[in-house]
Structure 1
Amino acid sequence: MAAPLPLVFLLMIHGVCSQWGGWGVSYSPSHICALKDSTVIMRCTYTYPTGYQIMKVFWTKTLVIDHGEFPDLSNDPEYSQRLQYLGDKQQNCTVRLSHVTLKDSHMYYFRFITDKDKWTGYPGVTLNVTDLQVESPERVTEGDSVSLTCKSSCALTDRATFIWYRNSQPLTERRDRNNELLLQSVRREDSGRYSCAVDGHTHVSPDVQLNVMYSPRSVSVSISPSGVIVEGDSVTLNCISDSNPPAEIRWFKGGTIVGSGRIFNISKISSEDSGEYKCKSINKHGEKYSDAVTLNVMYPPRSVSVSIIQSGQIWLGDSVTLNCTSDSNPPALNFSWFKENETSAVGSGQSFSALQSGRFYCQAHNQHGSQRSDAVTVTVGRTAGWLVWLGITVACVGIFIIIIIVLYKIQKKRINCRSAIHEYENDPRTDPSEGTYTSLELNTRSSDLYNTLTTVQPRPAVHQSGSSEYENVSPHSNTPR
């Protein structure tokens, strides 16, 4: 049963007044600030009058009587395993309390009972149990100076050396000042979870997140699928950006914005989607472009067509060159040529020589497919070819006939010349003293016409009426008239 309140009051008054009569309890220190989970030693000494005999000593934390006496902490289940009395029954009343918790914050009293009286040391020793808290700014910008503080609700009684952790790992560089951690010119690598502890104690403060803001950097683009992309596939572009806060993403093809968001999807991709892509990361601290990546879309041949190389009239015996072109990626390297209504190929290669009339088409191939062209008509002329050969033949015969005629006339003229000379030489009227042709150097003439001439004596006039055939020939003339 609890003692009446006046009795408690009288006991307290009795304890205070009796200190001058040899009774007393002294605590050193009288105020203790202990770290959570640590061990606390409450040192104390006590005195009592000579001739008294100590019957019982114990510690209590309340001055309310329970069952005729103050509660003994050693009988309290919350303390029985943690409280150890280190004193004696003469003067020393020191006690040790281990693994203190925040609930252990209280005022504790030492009480002893003699064979003649009882005594409680009042006021007792005040115990404050504190934990640790890291005080940090929520957000800092790269390059700022930052101070983190390891705080407790009271000033620790024991001299404390603080230890700092980042992401549960001890910081190897000691940058602390008392209970502060200084981060000068903070970097993005300084972001993380920070906690603190006191050297020699197991208690560690809760983590506090340090958030370092910085502009986008190390910004890149990945393409999925990463292999060959064929027209009709679905393609995903992913922009990987390192920034804080997270950046806004914009997508560019060349210099044109084509989308936004970290992921850019292209469903049923076409050849028009080929090109260079890059992303741009933007936050309030800056912006940055990624390197460009090339999206190369493969597709089978299309727009296959045939062109005729020659122009104008095609003669019989000529070949007509046809050329096959197509739009494909990769470029078509295999071409097959067909004559319409025939199943077997008549040629291969990008160019084909047609030797006969007909309708021809080509088929272009690459590893992604094939396509055929429309047929074109090739006409090789027959009549015009015979006319050409006939004309050539007639021309050759004409030239041959002209040569024969010329040769005939030359020969005939030679014969006439010789006959005239012979008549002249045998004419009795010719005066041998007249050297009509004496002055001719006949052997120096190159023409065969003059090789037949000989030097003769001139004759008198040949006929009375009319002239001789050589009458008007000059003595120095080379050509007979």
Structure 2
Amino acid sequence: MFCLFSLFFLFVIQGFCNLELEVVYTNTVICAIKGSTMHLTGTFKNTRNYKTEIFWTLTPVNMTDDTKRLGDPDYNGRIQELPNGKTHTIKLSHLRHEDEGKYCLRVVTRVEIQDLRPCAGIELRVTDLRVETPAEVVEGDSPVLTCKSSCNLGSSIFSWYRNGESFSESVRQNQLILQSVSREDSGNYSCAVRDLKNLPSPALTLNVRYPPKSVSVSVSGSAVIVSGDSVTLSCSSDSNPPALNFTWFKENQSLAVGSGQSFSISSFNSSHSGRYYCKAHNKYGSQRSESISVTVEESSSSWVLITAGVTAAAFVMFVILMVFILIRRKRVTPSEEQNHRGSGKTVESPENLYMTLDPKSRCSEYDTLDIMKRSCENTDIPEGQDPVYHNIGK
């Protein structure tokens, strides 16, 4: 009977003491970022000033491990107790996902009683940050980027970065709004809680899609295209995704002349000369290039023939000119003859130079003159008239 009374007395005392040592926590749920530092605080009331032992315990979230007393070697110097009267705080640094669980401040009045009751405690959640974007972003869209976490970070203010540099845009809580994006907005985006900029999320690539731009045509091979040469035209563009469809056109022709990123003409001739352009296509649109002129040049043998022809023509003209000059020198004008007669000097007629020649030979010489008006066989010349000027006068 006495033993039963003693056990009952101890049970009442334990319950009574536990009711006296009430613990109040500043926060009951805390969401913290992996790698950050967190302070957990609890305050107890000891109105009767019982002798107590105060310590913190952790009950893991997965409940596969038993409740353990903080200070285990697992923390490896990451935990620090900061007691201040009836308020006890622990500082937990470099948070890990293994640190998640329920933290309780235990106030035990009798060391030998280890049957600790469940407590309200502080539920600690550890989260990573990650950036989420729409599955597809096309040039001209206004996508919303979201900084995600596995637990509620409350009213935290977020900072955004692009390619590692601070990026200022419209910020609404944990969202970044990009207005009317272009290809220049493509890049690696990350986010961080403003007070924890050293703990940003992993970067996520924003891939802005756009139709072909800066489409151009280039000609391979020599700059001089000779008849019979092989000519290849290449089409290039800037697009995302890369253009896979290319169409070739020749100006003043309505139908396409080819397809593919390269267009080849195996034996180029003058009929192929003209202005060519290409069109590049992807799923978001198309664009055409500027036209490029492709013209066949004459071959080297053709140039040799042309040069020889010009040289021969020049030589013939030179010979004709020399003959004309010689004939002009053999002619004497009537005025010159009259002057010579007045001076008493005898002017030898040019005809006398040919008197020793056979008449037929002499006649053939004058056949070259268009002004000759009589036959070579007619050698009768009126008396007193100069033979040379007689022929001219006729």
State the TM-score bracket (shorter-chain normalisation).
Answer: 0.5 to 0.7
Write the deviation string for residues 261-318 of structure 1: whole angstroms up to 9, x where unpaired.
334456676676554332211234332211122335556335xxxxxxxxxxxxxxxx
The aligned runs of 1:210-221 (5 Å cut-off) are 210-221=206-217
* Greater mean alpha carbon deviation, residues 215-224 or residues 290-299: 290-299
Structure 1 residue 162 displacement after superposition: 0.9
Residue matched to 2:256: 257
Distance of 2:128 and 2:188 partners within structure 1: 18
One-letter identity of the residue aligned with 2:38: V
Distance of 2:39 and 2:13 partners within structure 1: 24
CA 1:70–1:150 in 2, change beyond 3 Å: closer, same or farther?
A: closer
The partner residue of 1:335 within 287, 301, 308 is 308
The aligned runs of 1:8-19 (5 Å cut-off) are 17-18=15-16
The partner residue of 1:395 within 375, 378, 391 is 375
Write the deviation string for residues 176-196 of structure 1: whole angstroms up to 9, x where unpaired.
122121222222322233221
Larger relative CO (CA 8 A, sep 6+): 1 or 2?
Answer: 2
Distance of 2:64 and 2:225 partners within structure 1: 88
1:44 and 2:42 equivalent? yes
Contact 1:164 1:195 in 2 (8 A): yes
Q: Secondary structure at the match of 2:68?
A: coil
Residue matched to 1:23: 21
Q: Secondary structure at the match of 1:193?
A: strand
1:122 and 2:119 equivalent? yes
Residue matched to 2:191: 196
* Greater mean alpha carbon deviation, residues 144-153 or residues 272-281: 272-281
Distance of 1:183 and 1:49 partners within structure 2: 58
Residue matched to 2:176: 181
Structure 1 residue 126 displacement after superposition: 0.5
Distance of 2:42 and 2:142 partners within structure 1: 47
Residue matched to 1:139: 136
> What TM-score comes out, normalization by structure 2 length?
0.66
In proportion to residue count, which structure has more strand?
1
Distance of 2:69 and 2:313 partners within structure 1: 109
Contact 1:131 1:205 in 2 (8 A): yes
Residue matched to 2:5: none
Contact 2:147 2:191 in 1 (8 A): yes
Contact 1:147 1:182 in 2 (8 A): yes
CA 1:180–1:21 in 2, change beyond 3 Å: closer, same or farther?
A: closer
Contact 1:134 1:205 in 2 (8 A): yes
Residue matched to 1:285: 284
User: Structure 1 regions of 5+ residues with no counterpart?
Assistant: 1-12, 303-325, 337-346, 355-384, 405-481
CA 1:161–1:284 in 2, change beyond 3 Å: closer, same or farther?
A: same
Structure 1 residue 104 displacement after superposition: 2.6
The partner residue of 1:239 within 235, 242, 258 is 235
One-letter identity of the residue aligned with 1:210: L
Write the deviation string for residues 320-378 of structure 1: whole angstroms up to 9, x where unpaired.
xxxxxx3x5xx866428xxxxxxxxxx94566649xxxxxxxxxxxxxxxxxxxxxxxx
Contact 1:192 1:210 in 2 (8 A): yes
Contact 1:107 1:124 in 2 (8 A): yes
Residue matched to 2:96: 101
Residue matched to 1:451: none
Distance of 2:366 and 2:268 partners within structure 1: 63
Structure 1 residue 151 displacement after superposition: 2.1
Residue matched to 2:201: 205
Contact 2:60 2:100 in 1 (8 A): no
Contact 1:33 1:130 in 2 (8 A): yes
CA 1:227–1:103 in 2, change beyond 3 Å: closer, same or farther?
A: farther
Distance of 1:56 and 1:281 partners within structure 2: 75
Structure 1 residue 48 displacement after superposition: 4.0
Contact 2:279 2:288 in 1 (8 A): yes
Write the deviation string for residues 204-241 of structure 1: whole angstroms up to 9, x where unpaired.
22333333333322211233447555667765533221
Contact 2:169 2:178 in 1 (8 A): no
Percent identity (aligned): 39
Residue matched to 2:218: 222
Distance of 2:108 and 2:64 partners within structure 1: 14
Distance of 1:163 and 1:65 partners within structure 2: 37
Cα RMSD (Å): 4.3
User: Structure 2 regions of 5+ residues with no counterpart?
Assistant: 1-10, 318-360, 384-394
The aligned runs of 1:372-383 (5 Å cut-off) are none
The partner residue of 2:79 within 61, 78, 83 is 83
Of structures 1 and 2, the larger Rg is shown by 1
Contact 1:59 1:110 in 2 (8 A): yes
CA 1:27–1:72 in 2, change beyond 3 Å: closer, same or farther?
A: same
In proportion to residue count, which structure has more helix?
2
Structure 1 residue 32 displacement after superposition: 0.5
One-letter identity of the residue aligned with 1:293: I
